[in-house]
Amino acid sequence: MGAQPSFFSRLTDRARAANSLLCVGLDPHPEFLGDPSAAAARDFCLNLIDATADFACAFKPNSAFFEVFGAPGWAALGDVIAGVPEAIPVILDAKRGDIASSSRHYAQAAFESLGADALTVSPYLGHDAVEPFIEDRAHGIFLLCKTSNPGSDDFQSLKSGDEAIYLHVARLAGQWNKKDNVGLVVGATDPVAIAQVRETVPDLWILAPGVGPQGADPKAALEAGLRADRLGMLIPISRSLGAASAPGDVAVRFRDSINHIRTSSTFPPRRPKDSLPPAKPSYQGLADALLGVGCVKFGDFELKSGDHSPIYFDLRLLAGRPSLLSRVAAAYLPILERLTFDRLAAVPYAGLPIATAIALQSGRPLIYPRKEVKEYGTKATIEGGFEPGETAVLIDDLTTSGGSKLEAVDKLTVAGLEVRDVVVLIDREAGSGESLSAVGLQLHSVFTFSQLIDHWTASGALNESLLAKLEEFLARQPSG
């Protein structure tokens, strides 16, 4: 008799057999049940299993929706897990984690009493608390690494030495994966984190919740996290399937949409030489997301300078898209980590939402110069509080000529602050770098205009006519 297969070898076999990375979430929300009861929750989930089993790589029941019904709910959960076809792994979403003796009983309850194949587990009590869950290679875990909820940054993004705690968790998971049964939970809401985790642990499976009501972009998440074999990620879909009148049809659409991204001719994302940095693959998904939501428009636009442009960046739209705003803010962080400063300083108005999101993610204090000084109250020129002699880094959405940046720097300097660096999402390459450099300021950008054109050309987003107009416009811009 051969060695027992590991959990992730079973999951891989299922992914290939079903040609699917769809993880069907079994979350019997009360509004789906009519008269909520353990029996109704059981029947709802069994019907969902029957409708979607052909298209699922895995099923993920959430224990909370069963535990609320007490002992009958626990029995119903067992019935649901037993109702999943044997070839399809079951991941129990229970987020367990306690001292080793307690963990051993949690493992027994999940794997022996209920019959689950894997479990979501908190890593924060350390290896001895995790070990009972991974002693048997046939049973797996997904360690909570960078979760999809808005409060995840309260702890998971804090620094451990020179890296975020979630990357420390990823590194430990790689070390603990001696039996091919340790994976990670990394929210699809944060493709930057997914890319960093994938770079840290190239082979581990990632469970990436957040697609659906939480607003995650599956394309960005998959591009950031898929392995070279185009496996290694599970995309859980729960509420969208539970609310559907024909969940099988919805499951097919999700599976096919995921597979289209996996098999697209532009995946893995092309990284033209001298274009987007290879170390930051998730930024290419960010570039596509900006285009997809209308933050980038093509046409004939008159600029403040009077010139006409075939492209317009409307980054003020980010304020109404919190998930994308968070991704944009995260893209600034690697640049800011290389700089020395006391405070972030936002250029009003477009730079304020971005700088606020950066402050929330980084914990750095924020100030901003007012466009109009109040004639009442404190009559402050700079809002947010600071001490003269401190250093500020200026944050804005994009830069063209650099004029608005120089105005903001003048106000900050008059107030007694020192500014050495300006960081933007997009440098339009219209001479701002030279204008800022002439007064001792260093411009940093996540993207340049030419990098974005290179990427969108490689991805097929630009036709030849539009590309010619953009290249002609770029050629008219002041050279460095």
pLDDT computed for residue 348 by the predictor: 87
The answer to whether residue 274 scores a pLDDT higher than 70 is: no
Residue 276 lies in a domain: no
Give me the residues paired with residue 182 across strands. Answer: 141
Assess whether 102 and 69 both reside in one domain: yes
Residue 52 lies in a domain: yes
Concatenated DSSP letters for 338-389?
TS--SEEEEPTTTHHHHHHHHHHHH---EEEE-SS--SSTT--SEES---TT
Assess whether 218 and 289 both reside in one domain: no
Q: 194-231: per-residue pLDDT in tens?
A: 999 998 899 999 999 998 777 788 888 998 899 888 99
Residue 271 lies in a domain: no
Last residue of a domain, one of 228, 263, 298: 263
Any idea which residue has 């890593």 for tokens? 123
Cβ proximity of 356 and 343 under 8 Å:
no
Cβ proximity of 60 and 84 under 8 Å:
no
Please count the other Cβ atoms lying within 10 Å of the Cβ belonging to residue 132.
21
Average pLDDT over residues 312-316: 90
Give the whole-angstrom CA distance, residue 446 versus residue 110. Answer: 45
Which CATH number is 309's domain given? 3.40.50.2020
Any idea which residue has 């660096």 for tokens? 421
pLDDT computed for residue 410 by the predictor: 92
Cβ proximity of 133 and 121 under 8 Å:
yes
Assess whether 21 and 125 both reside in one domain: yes
- Please tell me the least confidently modeled range out of 24-33, 151-160, 195-204, 268-277: 268-277
Give the whole-angstrom CA distance, residue 192 versus residue 198. Answer: 10
Mean of pLDDT over the chain: 87
pLDDT computed for residue 124 by the predictor: 93
Average pLDDT over residues 465-476: 81
The helix-helix angle for 247-263 and 38-52 (nearest 10°) equals 50
Instruction: Report yes or no on whether pTM surpasses 0.75.
Output: no
Last residue of a domain, one of 202, 230, 263: 263
Assess whether 202 and 236 both reside in one domain: yes
- Catalytic annotation on 95? yes
| CA of residue 154 relative to chain centroid, distance | 16
Give the whole-angstrom CA distance, residue 345 versus residue 348. Answer: 9
Residue 434 lies in a domain: yes
Cβ proximity of 436 and 442 under 8 Å:
yes
The residue type found at 475 is A
How many domains does the chain fold into?
2
Assess whether 112 and 139 both reside in one domain: yes
The answer to whether residue 2 scores a pLDDT higher than 90 is: no
Assess whether 391 and 451 both reside in one domain: yes
Sort strands 182-186 and 22-26 into parallel, antiparallel or unpaired.
Answer: unpaired
Assess whether 247 and 363 both reside in one domain: no
The answer to whether residue 276 scores a pLDDT higher than 70 is: no
Tokens of 7: 């959990």
Cβ proximity of 212 and 168 under 8 Å:
no
Closest by CA position to 60, among listed 84, 88, 25, 29 = 25
Concatenated DSSP letters for 219-262?
HHHHHHH--TTS-SEEEEE-HHHHT-SSHHHHHHHHHHHHHHHH
Q: Find the catalytic residue in 95, 179, 411, 469.
A: 95
Closest by CA position to 85, among listed 5, 154, 24, 6 = 24
Residue 1 lies in a domain: no
The answer to whether residue 101 scores a pLDDT higher than 60 is: yes
Assess whether 229 and 309 both reside in one domain: no
Give the whole-angstrom CA distance, residue 189 versus residue 245. Answer: 26
- Specify the higher pLDDT residue, 317 or 3: 317
- Element of type H or E holding 82: helix 71-82
Buried b (16+ CB within 10 A) or exposed e, 256-285: ebbeebbeeeebebebeeebbeeebbbbbb
Residue 139 lies in a domain: yes
Mapping DSSP onto H, E and C, the string for 165-197 reads: HHHHHHHHHHHHCCCCCEEEEECCCCHHHHHHH
Please count the other Cβ atoms lying within 10 Å of the Cβ belonging to residue 206.
27
Full domain range(s) for residue 466:
282-476
Tokens of 71: 């002992």
Residue 33 lies in a domain: yes
pLDDT computed for residue 479 by the predictor: 47
Assess whether 222 and 286 both reside in one domain: no
**DSSP SS3 for 305:** coil
Assess whether 241 and 186 both reside in one domain: yes
- Specify the higher pLDDT residue, 456 or 306: 456
Give the whole-angstrom CA distance, residue 385 versus residue 155. Answer: 26
Please count the other Cβ atoms lying within 10 Å of the Cβ belonging to residue 4.
12
Give the count of alpha carbons within 13 A of 201, CB side only.
27
The answer to whether residue 6 scores a pLDDT higher than 60 is: yes
Assess whether 192 and 320 both reside in one domain: no
Which CATH number is 202's domain given? 3.20.20.70
Assess whether 109 and 182 both reside in one domain: yes
The answer to whether residue 379 scores a pLDDT higher than 70 is: no
Last residue of a domain, one of 263, 294, 319: 263
